Chains A and B, each alone.
Chain A
Amino acid sequence: MIITFDRVVARGVARKGEVTPQLRAVTLGFAEGITVIVGARVSGGPLVLDLISGRVRPTQGAVRVLGMPAGDNELAKDIAYVPIAAELLAGLTVMECLRMSLRMRSSAPRDPGAALERLGVSALALRRTETLTPGEHRVVLLSAALATDARIVLMEEPCNWFDTRALTKIMEALRSIASEGRAVVLATQSALDATRIGGRALRALGGMIEEGLPEQPFAGVRVTTEKRRELLEALGELPADATVTTTPHDVTITASDANALLRYVGSVLAKAGIDVTAFEKIEATTTSASTTPTSTPTSTSTSTPTSTSTSTTTPTSTSTPTSTSTSTSPSTPPSS
Chain B
Amino acid sequence: MVFAAVIGLSAGAKSTGLRGALSVSFVGSALPFLSYAAISGIVGEKGLGAVVWSFSLMGVSRRRAALSLLVAALALGALLGLLSAEIVAVLGHTAMDPPLGRDLVTTAWVGALGGAAYASLFLLGSSFWKGAGRGVLLAMDWVLGGSGFFALLLPHGHLRSLFGGEAAFEVSQRVSSLSLITLTVLMGAWAVRRATRAT
**Whose C-beta in chain B lies nearest to the C-beta of A83?**
B57
* A12-B199, A55-B199, A57-B199 known; A86 vs B60 contact (CB < 8 Å): no
A97 within 8 A of B: yes
B64 touches A80 (CB 8 A): no
A32 within 8 A of B: no
Q: Which residues 153-194 of B sit at the A interface, judged by CB distance below 8 A?
A: none
B198 touches A100 (CB 8 A): no
The stretch of A69-77, A202-210, A298-306 in contact with B is: A69-77
B57 touches A148 (CB 8 A): no
Query: How big is chain A's contact interface, by range?
Result: 20 to 34
Interface string of A36-77 (1 = CB under 8 A from B): 000000000000001001111100000000000001011111
B57 touches A81 (CB 8 A): yes
Q: A90 CA to B56 CA in the complex, in Å?
A: 14
A89 touches B55 (CB 8 A): yes
B51 touches A55 (CB 8 A): no
Q: A86 CA to B56 CA in the complex, in Å?
A: 11
B58 touches A89 (CB 8 A): yes
Residues of B within 8 Å of A83, CB to CB, are: 57
**Whose C-beta in chain B lies nearest to the C-beta of A105?**
B59
**Whose C-beta in chain A lies nearest to the C-beta of B45?**
A90
B14 within 8 A of A: no
Q: A328 CA to B198 CA in the complex, in Å?
A: 23
* Count of chain A to chain B residue pairs whose CB atoms are closer than 8 Å in the complex: 66
Q: A57 CA to B198 CA in the complex, in Å?
A: 6
Q: A80 CA to B59 CA in the complex, in Å?
A: 7
Q: Which residues 36-65 of B sit at the A interface, judged by CB distance below 8 A?
A: 44, 46, 50-51, 53-64
Chain B proximity of A59: nearest CB distance (Å): 10
* A57-B199, A87-B50 known; A74 vs B61 contact (CB < 8 Å): yes
* A12-B199, A56-B199, A90-B44 known; A76 vs B51 contact (CB < 8 Å): no
B198 touches A76 (CB 8 A): no
**Whose C-beta in chain B lies nearest to the C-beta of A81?**
B57
Chain A proximity of B129: nearest CB distance (Å): 15
**Whose C-beta in chain B lies nearest to the C-beta of A149?**
B59
* A89-B54, A150-B59 known; A73 vs B198 contact (CB < 8 Å): no
Q: A89 CA to B64 CA in the complex, in Å?
A: 15
Q: Which single member of A13, A57, A100 contacts B58 (CB below 8 Å)? A: A100
Chain B proximity of A14: nearest CB distance (Å): 11
**Whose C-beta in chain A lies nearest to the C-beta of B44?**
A90
A76 touches B199 (CB 8 A): no
A97 touches B199 (CB 8 A): no
* A73-B63, A90-B44 known; A104 vs B198 contact (CB < 8 Å): no
Q: A101 CA to B59 CA in the complex, in Å?
A: 6
Interface string of A87-108 (1 = CB under 8 A from B): 1111000000100110011000
Residues of B within 8 Å of A141, CB to CB, are: 57
Q: List 7 A-B contacts (CB under 8 A).
A: A54-B62, A80-B57, A81-B56, A82-B57, A87-B57, A101-B59, A104-B58
Known: A12-B199, A73-B64, A97-B58. 5 other contacts (CB 8 A): A73-B61, A76-B62, A87-B46, A100-B59, A144-B58
Binding site for B on A (CB under 8 A): 12-13, 50, 53-57, 71, 73-77, 79-83, 86-90, 97, 100-101, 104-105, 141, 144, 148, 150
Binding site for A on B (CB under 8 A): 44, 46, 50-51, 53-64, 198-199
